[in-house]
Amino acid sequence: MKAYGKINVGLNILNKRDDGYHNIETIFAPVDIYDDIELFDSDKISVETNWKYIPEDEHNLCYKAAQILKEKYAPDKAVHIKVEKKIPVGAGLGGGSSDAAVVLTELNKMWELNLSYGELCREALSLGSDVPYFLKQGIAYALGRGNELTYINLQLPYYIVVVYPNVSISTKWAYKVYKEKKHNRLVEYNKILQSAINEPDLFREKFINDFEIIVFTKYAGLISIKNVLYEKGALFASLSGTGSTLFGFYLHEKTALRAYDAFSSRFKTFISYPYFN
């Protein structure tokens, strides 16, 4: 099974919640970058990955996803989870969350649990704020912790060049050092998105990632990547999530390939093609 990554088109931090999380506003959009997940019947829960730095015990989100379903719904079941990582870690692409969502969805079928989408969302949220998004595919407008989702029936008509600059950024760190804005309000990205597709200048004007100032201050080289994405013809370029990945929207494949070539010898670079989602 393919566990696809995502980008954040805009990330507006609204306020800190009483539970310690933050209320946010963002657009989640899938990109054609994915991990491969395989599930095998087993006598115990176990995880195998192709990346030595990823935990394979109870600290792994896939392990946690299987453990939750086993403890609550299928005590006599277990699974061996094989994860081939292609989505970079600590990149703002949601790889770990997507992997966990695939495990939840596929074990629901494999173990014949018959859990509803709402029940799966509840378990997904216990694993992470953006895990519920990955239970479905498509573009979604997200509020709350990122779990209040409204899926939008449109597709992005762009070649999306995605650049991972070999830097892993902790989401926990990013939120810890984030300083609240004086004026917090909804931008209403959901209402602007369709107009922005037809008028790309609106992306630059309206879709701001509040973490850019923090991340670019600590990792000064990342802003140069954003600048080069624009120099190579991007209609819009931004940090994804809390970083470190940056992406650019390109109208033509030829232009996107030029941008890809500018980075691919130094960084992990991908192209997601139009209308993928």
Positions marked active-site? 6, 130
Q: Contact 133/21 with Cβ under 8 angstroms?
A: no
Task: Identify the CA nearest to 36 among candidates 98, 129, 79.
Answer: 98
| Beta strand 159-164 pairing with 246-250 | antiparallel
Using left for φ > 0, alpha for ψ between -120 and 50, and beta otherwise, residue 231 falls in alpha
3-state secondary structure of 69: helix
Q: Which residues contact 207 (CB under 8 A, 6 or more apart)?
A: 9, 10, 27, 187, 189, 192, 196, 236, 238
The CA distances from residue 28 to 8, 139, 253, in Å, are: 5, 6, 23
Length of the chain: 277
